[in-house]
Chain A
Amino acid sequence: MKTLLKGLLVLWSGCIFAQSPAPAGGENDPVWNEIKGEKLLTLRLKGDITRGAEAFEICQGCHMGGAKGSVSGSYPRLAGQHATVLIEQIVDIRSGKRSNPKMKAFAHETVISPQEIADIAAYLEALPIPPNLGKGPGTLLTRGKELYSRDCATCHGEKGQGNAAKFYPLVAGQHYKYLLREAHLIRDGERGNANPDMIKAIKPYTNEDLEAVADYISELPAP
């Protein structure tokens, strides 16, 4: 049964760009990241890198030139992130599904259109990834690696490269403090649009476990 479900999931992921997916899951089984409405529309648009560079100007005040984000963890590095992930997150922040009061107003539909979201996503995906700027203390790497290999690598990849088709973000070399902030929000059920599988996986984590994994991921070189 489990294998069958997994097979279906893979099949479903493959269909995302060609067709609207068939709705899955019953009332008690809400679908994570259901691809419909604006998300589907935006994913179907062809992003343009040159237009994206211009549209991204309004994001630079926070995410910085080159989308390198902030070491303080307030703003993630976006350079090199999968376009699918970026589209998913921007649309979720704009709809309020992902709780992000700082960014929500700036993601309003009168600020960026679906086409601009697609353009920004294409631009960011193609941007060269700057070197890891926001590394952790480096004191919990062994523990971090152990946890990462056991619980995170299945989805985010051995190298932290993520998976564009499945909307799993590239995490390698992300700012330590940002990783830590989001890990807390996800574990504590406060992010809003987190994958239920991930919430389940890190539910038992102590704060130190979260620090260890963030420490390890922040050290991973960009793929």
Chain B
Amino acid sequence: MRIGGMLAWQVAVLGLLAATPARADDMEKAKTIAASICVACHGVDGNSVIPNFPKLAGHHPDYIVRQLKEFIAGRRKSDIMVPIVTMVDPNDFKALGDYYGAQKPTPGTVTDAKAAERGKKLYMDGDEDRGVPACSGCHKDDASGNKRFPRLAGQHKEYLITEMNNFKTGVRNSETGRVMREVAKRMSDEEIGAVAEFLTGM
């Protein structure tokens, strides 16, 4: 019994020793990729300072991996992003997702408080008469997202608006984006702007 217990401990400790460096290696490698390939647009810590490019810090790793695959599959289109994604080994996608997911996200700045207030209402309650679902249903009240739905809190409003329009026009064509394409169609430009204003300040 005692020997068995000791053995279990040894196995556990060995397991930890074996697992930890490998993971740290992955993180180091991901950081190197981030610092050499992604940094110009997304920042090394995933907090892009350029409004056209999304912040990645704090996204669920699985969500990041899925989007990278969507670019490869041609269901997300970007003249800038696609050539860059193809420079990355798909085997490193998961490490990149883990790396950016572990970074601390920074909030953006609200410049139109009234619009943000309108946006908050729509985000939390939707619009029943027109069948606009509450965004919070999927993206959560704090807009932190999860593995299926992206984090939106603190995201650049310019980027959010661009992507909503890409959903609206069908440019963003992932199968799982069908819900968003329908939601975007039901929202006016003014409403999309208001929700984006709210989210950027979260």
Contact = CB atoms under 8 A, between A and B. Distances in A.
Contacts of B135: 61
Contacts of B179: 58, 105-106, 111
Interface residues of A, number: 21
A102 B131 contact: yes
Contact of A58 (B128, B129, B131, B138): B138
29 contacts: A57-B146, A57-B149, A58-B137, A58-B138, A58-B179, A59-B137, A60-B134, A61-B126, A61-B134, A61-B136, A61-B137, A62-B126, A62-B134, A64-B134, A65-B137, A70-B128, A72-B128, A74-B128, A74-B129, A74-B131, A75-B128, A101-B131, A105-B178, A105-B179, A105-B182, A106-B133, A108-B178, A111-B178, A111-B179
Contacts of B148: 54, 57
Contacts of A57: 137-138, 146, 148-149
Contacts of A28: none
Interface residues of chain B: helix, strand, loop or mixed (majority): loop
Interface string A27-67: 00000000000000000000000000010011111101100
A60 B138 contact: yes
A19 interface: no
Given A61-B138, A74-B128, A110 B133 contact: no
Q: Is the interface of A mostly helix, strand, loop or mixed?
A: helix
Among B129, B134, B138, B179, which residue has the most Cβ atoms of chain A within 10 A? Answer: B179
Contacts of B182: 105-106
Nearest to B140: A57
Contacts of B129: 74
A62 B133 contact: yes
Interface string B119-142: 000000010110101111110000
Interface in A61-108: 61-62, 64-65, 70, 72, 74-75, 101-103, 105-106, 108
